[in-house]
Structures are given as C-alpha cells and as structure tokens.
Amino acid sequence: MSKAHRGSGIRSEANHGRGKCGRCGKDQIKCLYEQEIDGQKVKICKICKAALKNQAQKAAKEAKKNAPVEAPATEA
C-alpha cells in the first residue's frame, strides 16, 4: 500500500506538509488532503477528511433508507 502522506512523500511539500487546516483551522497540523469545499480546493487534515467521508456515508445511507420502494410488477 502506498505511503504518500508520510515520510519521504511529504518532504518536498512546503514545511513538510504542515500548515493550517482549511476546515477546522488547527495550526501546525499535517494538511495533505485536497478537498473541494464551497467550490474551492483547500488542503485539510486527516481528521477532517475522515469526518467528511463519514458525513457522506451517513447521507447516502439515509437517502437509501428514505427512498421509495417500488412494488414488484404483477403479471396480468
């Protein structure tokens, strides 16, 4: 499995990938993940990326749960 977000993969980044998270605002945290938020691409931390992914999964689960169920077609 790739390890692009640690070690030698982030040495070429400015300040070794550390900065201010575009979502939660924490300082001096690794911001390695690009995410589109409100139409802008921002770099966010690992915790915020996981939170966004979990929100999307919950929304998809709720949409699937609330979707109308079609009755099977009966043959006449």
Res 68 pLDDT > 90: no
Res 53 pLDDT > 80: yes
Average confidence score pLDDT of the chain: 88
- What are 23-38's pLDDT values in tens digits? 999 999 999 999 998 9
Predicted TM-score of the model (pTM)? 0.74
Integer angstrom CA distances of residue 36 from 21, 23, 39, 62, 65: 13, 11, 6, 23, 27
User: What's the rounded mean pLDDT across residues 32-46?
Assistant: 93
- 45, burial (CB in 10 Å: exposed 0-12, middle 13-18, buried 19+): buried
